[in-house]
Structure 1
Amino acid sequence: MELRQLRYFVAIVDHGSLSRAATVLHVAQPALTQQLRQLEEELGAQLLHRSAQGVLSTDAGKVFYEHAQAILKQVSDARSAVTQSATRPSGSVTLGLPHSISGALALPLLTAARARFPEITLQLTEELTGNLVEQLKSGRVNLAVLFDDGQLAPFVCTPLVEEELRFICRADAACGADRGDISLADALAAQLILPGPRHGVRPRVESVARGAGLATANVIEINSIAILKSAILAGMGATILPVAPVLAEVERGDMRALPIHGPAISRTVVLCGSKNIPLTNAAAAVGRLTAEVAADLCASGYWLGARLL
């Protein structure tokens, strides 16, 4: 198996046809077809369905595509690590952010990276926490912001902040209207809209609930933050989240974010890298910058509910 075969295969999938991939790669289409055939023969599996409309990945092709992307990225990172300067880092860095963190961290980090490291191309990917763990293990992302759930042993972790989770409801909802806060028992008794188990919020909520002898029940599962917010505004229920993803709605007065007590719920936000895949100078620089930006956001109060660790 050769690297060029991986590049060819990824290009075919990305462009949806052999002819378009051949044009982009500046390779004759018969040569591209031959390399693809050799790859499939070596793997003993059909990777693509071919038709007059183009190509689609088979189940085996979808699996191989993920691995091919990871391998090509690690090769690119290795090349960058050799050539780039430690004092003026350059190259591409991919940082994974959970949906519930990107609202607070993404834009300030992008702004700071462009100002501090103009020769670094910072690519932010927003994913479910469970997906980010797998991408970090495989090398498809250089760094990821995750939550310390006691299962981060495969990674090198740097604590960033302790983030409070609050009860988020529509502004005219009756819950906690008189007190301005809500007990965990009352929060769990409400009709809750929560992300699924692969989202970092859900395991933390259920862990704290179990510790208090309580449980979540009658939960509507929505993984998309945008859809979840629409459901709250439509009166379908409330949620337990950090404030950052709903900050705009809270500031407009469309939603309220009530502190939870008895007990409170918080989570430890950490920056993680692989123990097995060395960071390039550029990735290490982005890691340090991420910690700096998180500290600045806590100090300024922009990251509501976050306390610097």
Structure 2
Amino acid sequence: MELRQLRYFVAIVDHGSLSRAARVLHIAQPALTQQVQQLEEELGAQLLHRSAQGVMSTDAGKTFYEHAQAILKQVEDARSAVAQSSDKPAGTVALGIPQSVSSALALPLLTAVREAYPEITLQLTEELSGTLIEQLKSGRINLAVLFDDGQLGAFASMPLVEEEMMFITRAGSQFAPKKKSIPLSRAVELPLILPGLQHGVRPRIENIVRAEGLSIGNVIDINSVAILKSALLADLGATILPVAPLLSEIEHGQMTAYPITGASISRTVTLCSSRNIPLTNAGHAVQRLVVSVASRLCVSGYWLGAKSLAKSESA
């Protein structure tokens, strides 16, 4: 198996066509087809479905595609690590951010990287926490912002912020408390719209609720932040979340956030990297900048409900 075969296969899947991939790769289509056939023979599995409409990955092809991407990413990182200098880092850094954090961190971080390190290309991926963990393990991303649930021992990690969670409803909702806060025991009795269990925030809520001898009864599971917002605005229920993903709606008076009494509900946001795959100089530079930007956002009050857990480092 050769690296060029991995590049060829990834290009075919990305372009959905042997002919388009051949043009991009500057290789004759019959030669490209032959390379794919050799790869399939070596693996003992069909990787692509070929039809008049183009090509699609088989189940084996989808699995192999993820591994091929990770291998090619690590090879490129190795080249960058050898070529770049420590005083002027350059190259591509892939950073994964959960949906519920991206609204607070993504844009300020993009701006900071462009200003501090113009020769670094930052690739941001917004996914569920469980997906980011798998991508970080495989090497498809270099860094990931994750939630510390006590099971991040496989990664090198540093705490970024502690985020308070609040009870949030549509403005004037039938589920809104009559006071300016709501006891946890009352909150869990109401219909709640929450991310699924594979989402980092949900296990944290469930654990705290159980520790208080309570349980959540009526739950609508929604993994999309956009759909969750729509369900809240339709007054299908309330939610327990940090303020950040719903900040715009709260600031515009569409939603209202209430402190929860009776138990402290928060989550620790952590920056993680692989213990087995070393970071390039560019990766280390972005790592330091994430810590610095997160700290600054907390101090300025831009990241509402968040308290910095790390000292800001100079970029």
**8 Å Cα contact 1:184/1:264 also seen in 2:** no
SS of residue in 2 equivalent to 1:162: strand
SS of residue in 2 equivalent to 1:189: coil
* TM-score (structure 1 length as normaliser): 0.99
Q: What is the CA distance between 1:177 and its match in structure 2?
A: 3.8
Once the two structures are overlaid, the 10-residue window that deviates more, 249-258 or 180-189, is 180-189
Moved over 4 A (4+): none
Q: Which residue of 2 aligns with 1:99?
A: 99
Q: What is the CA distance between 1:168 and its match in structure 2?
A: 1.1
Give 5+ residue unaligned stretches, structure 1.
Answer: none
Distance in 1, Cα, partners of 2:20 & 2:176? 58
SS of residue in 2 equivalent to 1:60: helix
Q: 1:201 to 1:231 in 2, by over 3 A?
A: same
1:55-74 aligned at under 5 Å gives the runs 55-74=55-74
Q: Which residue of 1 aligns with 2:251?
A: 251
Deviation track 1:212-239 (CA, whole Å, cap 9, x = no partner) reads 0111122111100001000100111111
Q: Which residue of 2 aligns with 1:227?
A: 227
Q: Which residue of 2 aligns with 1:84?
A: 84
Distance in 1, Cα, partners of 2:192 & 2:178? 20
Give 5+ residue unaligned stretches, structure 2.
Answer: 310-315
**8 Å Cα contact 2:175/2:237 also seen in 1:** no
Distance in 2, Cα, partners of 1:189 & 1:172? 19
Q: Which residue of 2 aligns with 1:306?
A: 306
Distance in 2, Cα, partners of 1:37 & 1:88? 42
Q: Which residue of 1 aligns with 2:34?
A: 34
Distance in 2, Cα, partners of 1:296 & 1:254? 27
Task: Answer yes or no: is 1:110 the counterpart of 2:110.
Answer: yes
Deviation track 1:78-117 (CA, whole Å, cap 9, x = no partner) reads 0000001100100000000001000100000001110000
Q: What is the CA distance between 1:175 and its match in structure 2?
A: 4.1
Q: What is the CA distance between 1:174 and its match in structure 2?
A: 4.3
Q: Percent identity?
A: 71
1:173-252 aligned at under 5 Å gives the runs 173-252=173-252
Q: Which residue of 1 aligns with 2:171?
A: 171
**8 Å Cα contact 1:175/1:182 also seen in 2:** no
Task: Answer yes or no: is 1:125 the counterpart of 2:92.
Answer: no
Distance in 1, Cα, partners of 2:130 & 2:217? 22
Deviation track 1:239-285 (CA, whole Å, cap 9, x = no partner) reads 11110111010011000111111102001111000000000000100
Q: 1:235 to 1:188 in 2, by over 3 A?
A: same
SS of residue in 2 equivalent to 1:237: coil
Q: Which residue of 1 aligns with 2:293?
A: 293
2:260 partner letter? I
Q: Which residue of 2 aligns with 1:2?
A: 2
SS of residue in 2 equivalent to 1:278: coil
1:278 partner letter? P
1:268-279 aligned at under 5 Å gives the runs 268-279=268-279
Once the two structures are overlaid, the 10-residue window that deviates more, 211-220 or 109-118, is 211-220
* TM-score (structure 2 length as normaliser): 0.97
